[in-house]
Structure 1
Amino acid sequence: MQSKKAKSEAACRAFEGEVGDSTYGRAARRSAARPLARQREAETVVAARRLNRAAGMLAGSVLADSALEHYRGSFKNKAMFTPLIVAGLTLAMSIHGTADKRPDAHRARDGSYLLAAATGALGTGFHIYNVTKKVGGLSWQNVFYGAPLGAPMAILLSGLLGFCSERVRDNGGRRPHRVFNLPAGETIAAVTALGLLGTTGEAGLLHFRGAFHNPFMALPVTLPPIGAGLLARAALKGGARSRGLARWWMRLLTAMGFAGVGFHAYGVSRNMGGWRNWSQNILAGPPLPAPPSFTGLALAGLAALELMREARDA
C-alpha cells in the first residue's frame, strides 16, 4: 500500500506532465527559446555588418582610385563618371548597412550592390577594349600603360560581398547560414580568396612595371596569395587551428593595406618636387587609394572565418 508521501509525489508528477503538454507548457517552452533566437539574430546581424564594412572599404578604394585615374584621363569618355557614381552609392549603402541592426535584407542596398557588380563586369570589358584598340593590341606595353585590366573587378567584388551581406542578414536566426543555397562562410571565403589572387595580379603587374625597386614592393605579391591558400584550407578542413592561422593572416593583410598607403605616399614624395608639387605627383606617382583594397578583402576573409566558426559550433 502506497504511503501518503508517495501518492503526493505521483500526483505532482502527473500534474507536471499535464501542464507540460498543455498550452501553458508550450508557451513556457517558446518563451525560453526566444532569448536564444534573439541572440542568434544578433549574431547574424553582426556577421552581415562585417561584410558591409568590407564592401564599403572596397567601394571607398574604388571611388578614390577611379577618381584619380579617370581625372588623369580627362574623363574623355563620359562613361568614366559611372564608377565614381556607383562606387559612391555603394559606399553610402555600406555605411547604411553597417549602422543597420535589423535582421532583414534591404531592397535599396540589394539594388546598389547588384548595380556595383554589373558596373565592375562592364568596366572590365571597357578596359580590355581600351587596351586592345591601341597600336600593337594586347601587348605588354599596352597592358602596362593602358587602362588597368583588374581595376574594375574591385567594384564587382564590393557589390558581390555586399550582396552576400544581405543574404546573410536574411537568414535571421537560422543556423547554419547559407548564401545562394551554399554554406555562407565557405562561399564568402572562396570569393575572398579569388579576389585576393586577382588583386595580387594587378599589383604584381604594376610593381613589375616599377622594377620592384623597393624590396617592400614584393609584399603585395607574396602575402595575399598565402592568405588565399589559408582561407581555402580553412574552408576545406574546417579545423579551429586552420581558422586561427587564416585569421591571423587576414589581420596581417589588413595592416598591409593601410601600410601600403604610407609606402605609396613615400613614393609620391620621391618624385620631382615631392609633396610641394602634389597636384602633379599624386597623378604620376603610385596610386594612394589602391592598397586599401587588400584591407577590404581581408575584412571579408575575417567575416567568412567567423561564419565558419559559428556554423561548426551550431
Structure 2
Amino acid sequence: MLAASVLSDSALEHYRGGFENPGMFAPLASAALALAGAARAARRPARPASPLPFGAACAVGAAGLGFHVYNVLRRPGGLSWANLFYAAPLGAPAALSLAGLLGLAAGKVGRGAPTLARLPRGRALGLLTAAGLAGTSLEAALLHFRGAYHNPAMWLPVSLPPVGAALLAASATRPPAASPRLERLAQVWLAATAWLGVAGVALHARGIARQMGGWRNWSQNVLSGPPLPAPPSFTALALAGRAALALGPSARQGRDGTQREAA
C-alpha cells in the first residue's frame, strides 16, 4: 500500500514537473517493482520473496532524498520556508525507502526470522513504523501549513498520527507484562489512523472539486489540488504498526511454547 501511494504520488508530481530529469522515472520504476514484489509475496506466502526490488527501493529513495535536498538548496534563498513549500518534497523519496524497508522486514518475518537489525522483530518493526508515522505527519504539517489550515480537518493528520507513533514506540519498547493497556490503546489509535488515511482521500477529492472547474477540469486540478495518493500512506503505516504489535513479545503463547502470532 505504501509503495502504491509513492508510485501514484511520484507519477503525478514528476508529470507536473515534465520529467525534465531522466532520473525522475527511477522512483516510478522502483515503486512499481516493489509493489509487484509485495503482490507476488502475498499471492505465494510459502515462497520467499526476492529482496531485490525492496533493496532497490531503499537505494532509489536514498538517492532521491539527496536530489530533493539539492533541489531545495540550489534555489535562491536556499533552505527557506518558500523553498520547502514549493521545491521538491523531502518526504516523498524517504517514503520510498520506508516502503523498501517494510518489504525487507516482511520477507524476513515470513521466513521466521526472530530478529530484525539485532532487535526483536516486533520491536524493530514498531520503531521503524513509528518513525515513519512521525515523518509522514511532519510532511503533512508542512504542506497543510502552506494551505494555512483553512479547514479544521487539516489538523487531524498532524495530531492523530504522532500520538499513534508515540504509543506504538512506547508499546514496542516496554516489557510485555507492563504494557497490556498501552498496547490496546495503541491498537485502537492506529486503527483510527488507518481510517484517517481513507477519510483523507475523500477530503482531498473534495478539495479538488472546490477548485475552479472542479472534477470537470480534472486534468489540471488533480495536478494542482491536494494530492489524492498521499493520505493512504497513513493507512499503510498504521497497518504496519498493528502488525508490529501482533509480532511483539506480548503475543499469546501456544501450548508448546512457540509464539502464536496474530494474523
- TM-score bin, normalised by smaller chain: over 0.9
Separation (CA, whole Å) in 2 of partners of 1:170 and 1:113: 16
Q: CA offsets per residue over residues 223-274 of structure 1, 9 Å max, x none?
A: 0110011101211223222211111111111110011000000000111011
Of 15, 18, 23, the match for 1:79: 23
Separation (CA, whole Å) in 2 of partners of 1:80 and 1:227: 33
The within-5 A match list for 1:42-121 is: 57-102=1-46, 105-106=48-49, 108=50, 110-121=51-62
Partner of 2:144: 207
Separation (CA, whole Å) in 2 of partners of 1:258 and 1:154: 18
2:70 is equivalent to residue 126 of structure 1 = no
Partner of 2:83: 142
Partner of 2:118: 181
> 1:283–1:272: structure 2 CA closer, same or farther, 3 Å change rule?
same
Separation (CA, whole Å) in 1 of partners of 2:173 and 2:14: 41
Partner of 1:258: 198
Q: CA offsets per residue over residues 80-139 of structure 1, 9 Å max, x none?
A: 00011010111111111112221x533x3x011110011111110000001111111111
Separation (CA, whole Å) in 2 of partners of 1:234 and 1:281: 42
Separation (CA, whole Å) in 1 of partners of 2:173 and 2:110: 24
Bigger Cα displacement from structure 2, 303-312 vs 283-292: 303-312
Partner of 1:54: none
Higher-helix-fraction structure? 1
Of 100, 105, 127, the match for 1:190: 127
- Secondary structure of the residue aligned to 2:246 is helix
2:168 is equivalent to residue 225 of structure 1 = no
Of 212, 217, 229, the match for 1:272: 212
Answer yes or no: is the 8 Å Cα contact 2:41–2:48 preserved in 1. no
Shift of 1:150: 1.0
Bigger Cα displacement from structure 2, 238-247 vs 225-234: 238-247
> Which letter maps to 1:165?
A
For the pair shown, the structure with the greater C-alpha radius of gyration is 1
Separation (CA, whole Å) in 2 of partners of 1:290 and 1:89: 19
Q: TM-score, normalised by structure 2?
A: 0.92
Partner of 2:256: none
Bigger Cα displacement from structure 2, 72-81 vs 93-102: 93-102
> Which letter maps to 1:232?
A
Answer yes or no: is the 8 Å Cα contact 2:5–2:229 preserved in 1. yes
Separation (CA, whole Å) in 1 of partners of 2:161 and 2:136: 9
Partner of 1:6: none
Separation (CA, whole Å) in 2 of partners of 1:88 and 1:121: 17
Fraction of identical pairs, as percent: 54
> Which letter maps to 1:142?
N
Separation (CA, whole Å) in 2 of partners of 1:270 and 1:158: 32
Separation (CA, whole Å) in 2 of partners of 1:204 and 1:180: 30
- Secondary structure of the residue aligned to 2:248 is helix
Structure 1 portions without partners, runs of 5+: 1-56
Shift of 1:68: 0.3
Of 297, 305, 310, the match for 2:245: 305
Shift of 1:167: 1.0
Partner of 1:158: 99
Partner of 1:169: 110
> Which letter maps to 1:308?
G
Q: TM-score, normalised by structure 1?
A: 0.78
Separation (CA, whole Å) in 1 of partners of 2:238 and 2:119: 21
Separation (CA, whole Å) in 2 of partners of 1:241 and 1:309: 15
Separation (CA, whole Å) in 2 of partners of 1:120 and 1:87: 9
- Secondary structure of the residue aligned to 1:216 is helix
> Which letter maps to 1:94?
A
The within-5 A match list for 1:22-41 is: none
Separation (CA, whole Å) in 2 of partners of 1:66 and 1:214: 25
Structure 2 portions without partners, runs of 5+: 254-258
Bigger Cα displacement from structure 2, 301-310 vs 61-70: 301-310
